[in-house]
């Protein structure tokens, strides 16, 4: 019996999950709770110091006024006391610290990038064998425009054998946040299922 429980414990992941540009919304918290219910440990740093915003534009205005570099710095600092072998996950703006840490902090267990992906060269090179998933809608103007995130994601997939890109039909950006108008239940459920499979 002890061996069985020990094996189950080994399959549980520790995740640091960074919110998107509208802040640590109820939808982000609910997503984190879904992962916790599956047995994973999830940290949700608040990069906006308690602020949340009703629209993407309002959230981006806050990020600009604070400074994108400062937001990323908060994200990196939030992980400093965590173990090395965590999974770094981020929604949109939150992908910036998640990807930076996944590529530069030794020992990452994996990476999950939702709605965004930066060129790997932004942070050096992709760590050998580091597993990752990228999720976005195929007509999301923030992700799918030529020369943007989708090209960075495809380049990462082509350059490694450990990164997967999942595209969902639709135009919404924050489609897995159940607290926002753009929530797409079908796509969000599939994204969650794929995330749980990755973490297992």
Mean pLDDT, range 152-181, rounded to an integer: 97
How far CA 65 is from CA of 25, 71, 73, 118, 196, in Å, comes to 20, 10, 15, 22, 35
Give the chain's domains with CATH numbers: 16-199 (3.40.50.1820)
30 touches 37 (CB < 8 A): no
pLDDT tens, residue by residue, 34-92: 999 999 999 999 999 999 999 999 999 999 999 999 999 999 999 999 999 999 999 99
15 touches 89 (CB < 8 A): yes
Strand locations in 14-86, DSSP E? 14-18, 41-43
Confidence (pTM): 0.93
Cβ neighbours of residue 1 under 8 Å, at least 6 residues apart?
A: none
The confidence score (pLDDT) of residue 148 equals: 84
Bridge partners (DSSP) of residue 36 are none
SS3 9: helix
pLDDT tens, residue by residue, 109-166: 999 999 999 999 999 999 999 999 999 999 999 999 877 899 999 999 999 999 999 9
Residue 185 belongs to what H/E stretch?
helix 185-199
Q: Which residue has the tokens 């794929």?
A: 194
């Amino acid at each position: 019996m002890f061996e069985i429980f020990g094996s189950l414990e080994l399959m549980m992941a520790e995740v640091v999950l960074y919110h998107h540009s509208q802040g640590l919304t109820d939808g982000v918290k609910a997503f984190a709770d879904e992962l916790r219910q599956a047995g994973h440990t999830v940290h949700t740093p608040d990069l906006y110091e308690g602020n949340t915003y009703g629209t993407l534009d309002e959230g981006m205005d806050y990020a600009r006024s604070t400074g994108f570099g400062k937001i990323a710095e908060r994200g990196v600092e939030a992980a400093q006391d965590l173990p090395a072998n965590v999974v770094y996950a981020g929604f949109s703006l939150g992908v910036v610290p998640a990807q930076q840490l996944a590529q530069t902090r030794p020992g990452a267990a994996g990476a999950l990038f939702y709605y965004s992906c930066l060129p790997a060269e932004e942070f050096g090179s992709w760590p050998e064998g580091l597993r990752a998933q990228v999720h976005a809608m195929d007509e999301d103007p923030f992700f799918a425009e030529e020369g943007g995130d989708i090209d960075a994601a495809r380049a990462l997939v082509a350059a490694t054998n450990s990164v997967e890109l999942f595209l969902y039909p639709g135009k919404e950006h924050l489609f897995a946040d159940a607290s926002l108008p753009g929530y797409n239940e079908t796509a969000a459920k599939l994204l969650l299922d794929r995330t749980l499979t990755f973490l297992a």
